[in-house]
Amino acid sequence: MSLLKNFATVGGATLASRLLGFVRDLLLAAAVGTGPVADAFVVAFRLPNLFRRLFAEGAFNSAFVPLFGRAVEEQGEEGARRFAGEIGSGLLFCLLVLTALAQIFMPVVVWALAPGFVGDAEKFDLTVLMARIAFPYLIFMSLLAFIGGILNTYQRFAAAAFAPVMLNVVMSIVLGGVLFLGVEDNTTLGIILTVGVTVGGIVQLAVVLIDLRRLGFSIPVSRPKYTASAKRLLALGIPGVVAGGVTQINVAVGQIIASMQDGANSLLYYADRLYQLPLGVIGIAIGVVLLPSLTRQLRSGQEDQYQRSLNNALEFSLVLTLPAAVALAVVPHEIVSVLFERGKFGPEAVEGTAAALAAFAIGLPAFVLNKVFSPGYFAREDTKTPMKFATVGLVINVALSVLLFPMFQHVGIALATTIAGWINTGLLVGVLWRRGHFSPNLTVLRKIGLILVASLVMGVVVHLISSHLQPYLTHGSLLVRLGGLGGLVVVGIVTFGAIAQVTGGSNLVAHAKSFRRRK
């Protein structure tokens, strides 16, 4: 199966998840708006997600996949099972200990992540309660990442990519029930939402377990031991926690500072959800597929194929990311208004979310390129170099957030995250290039320049057309407004596609034909 086909498989599943995620967030905005329950839910839900992305996805994608790939190549099926059993037992033990400690010290954890909540005792207590209920979600998602790493090594990407769809299905059902029943009590509402998160985690884990069984790969259960394999994983995983989760660390820092402004966390959450759509569909899909592919090519000595894969990933990512970034930056108000402005989500929330979205959009290409170039290090079992760069980005993000927040409030936090993302990605690309581990193809660089031109022209066209579509974007029924936004999207896609095709920025027709042939 080709790299492009694997990108499409993971990206398609992620797209389905993010679209259902929008349904979830539309219901969430209508049910809780940007009030205290929304702020508490954002912190409570982000807490296990932060640990999951740092310790599970970050560490496992950067450390486990290359080591497991080596076990498959050098020790065969039996050795791979033994390795998976050792790591799985240790992982589960650590998760149970971490969860127990989190339950005990949750007030301290919430105080550290949202110090601004301390002045509001009701909001603080509600956040602690919701975080305790939601935290076990970490266990299920970490095990999902572990099993997903095994499936991805065997080139089975669909189940792990599809699993997040189930969380959005469960949460949409829960939120639909809340709206139907008219639940108003904050505590009851918070408990229902976080129980839904935990149930969604169980369902997601079940999806990958079923696929693992279909693969015929059994993981032996044993007592946790600090084996040589565990030591090696830990040595690679600790730097990978920082390197792979730099975006999440920056988001957490922003969350702490944003807790000083009422409603800021929920405004950043909704903006984050919007720019995470292209980041998830493009960046995460590339990161998931690229790492096992590069690892396999390096193990077999296919250096030329390794370079082609990295260049192809660069081109493919920017073909999709640059126009998305320009569109989000040019018409953020229209997008936020159509998708979220209803119920408790009013015009003030639209303005705040749109401003943050525009700031995040400028950094979108950097966030995606981070997913492209980090595997170039991880595939060589080098997690320390990305960790150093991530630390530089983290320091810059914290400093800029503190400096910009007094002037720009929550928008300053988004700008700080964007600037830090570009600096981190620039360091990744530069050092990989200097070491000879990335040789940019001149044809690819020329295409990227043309893609940028096509994206900017598209932005101008979309901006002009949006002024004529204002009556359909701001008035009328939801169906009319969605139709207006859909028309704007179609104009943007057609404009970009035509310019990119004519100038040679990307042969989209050939890519589509190639994909259909492989399919």
Each residue of 181-192: pLDDT tens digit? 888 788 888 889
Residue 210 is predicted with a pLDDT of 93
Last residue of a domain, one of 440, 455, 483: 440
Domain carrying residue 105? 3-218+225-440
Calpha distance 105→107 (Å, rounded): 6
Shared domain check, 490 and 384: no
Shared domain check, 38 and 169: yes
pLDDT at 71 over 60: yes
pLDDT (tens digit per residue) in 399-424:
999 899 888 888 999 899 899 989 99
pLDDT at 518 over 60: no
Question: 């570009």: which residue's tokens?
Answer: 422
Mean pLDDT of 321-345: 86
Q: Which of 254, 260, 253 is nearest to 116 (CA)?
A: 260
Q: Residue 380: phi, psi to the nearest 5?
A: -95, 15
Shared domain check, 42 and 101: yes
Residue 250 is predicted with a pLDDT of 65
The residues near 100 (Cβ < 8 Å, ≥ 6 apart) are: none
Shared domain check, 245 and 108: yes
Shared domain check, 249 and 312: yes
Q: What is the 3-state secondary structure (H, E, C) of 299-317?
A: HCCCHHHHHHHHHHHHHHH
pLDDT at 460 over 90: yes
Last residue of a domain, one of 421, 440, 459: 440
Shared domain check, 397 and 470: no
Shared domain check, 464 and 329: no
**Worst-scoring range by mean pLDDT, 110-114, 244-248, 418-422, 441-445?**
244-248
**241 falls in which pLDDT band (50, 70, 90)?**
low
Mean pLDDT of 35-55: 75
pLDDT at 278 over 50: yes
Residue 290 is predicted with a pLDDT of 78
Shared domain check, 432 and 457: no
pLDDT (tens digit per residue) in 208-235:
999 999 998 988 888 887 777 777 777 7
pLDDT at 477 over 70: yes
DSSP 505: S
Shared domain check, 259 and 161: yes
C-alpha pair distances (Å), 19 with each of 22, 172, 281, 400 = 5, 12, 10, 32
For helices 106-113 and 65-104, angle between their N-to-C axes, nearest 10 degrees:
110
Shared domain check, 339 and 459: no
pTM above 0.85, yes or no: no
pLDDT at 497 over 60: yes
Residue that wins the pLDDT comparison between 200 and 118: 200
Residue 6 is predicted with a pLDDT of 66
**Worst-scoring range by mean pLDDT, 44-58, 214-228, 281-295, 412-426?**
44-58
**Worst-scoring range by mean pLDDT, 244-248, 284-288, 307-311?**
244-248
Shared domain check, 476 and 413: no
Number of structural domains the chain divides into: 2
Helix (H, G, I), strand (E, B) or coil at 342: strand
Shared domain check, 420 and 320: yes
Last residue of a domain, one of 410, 440, 470: 440
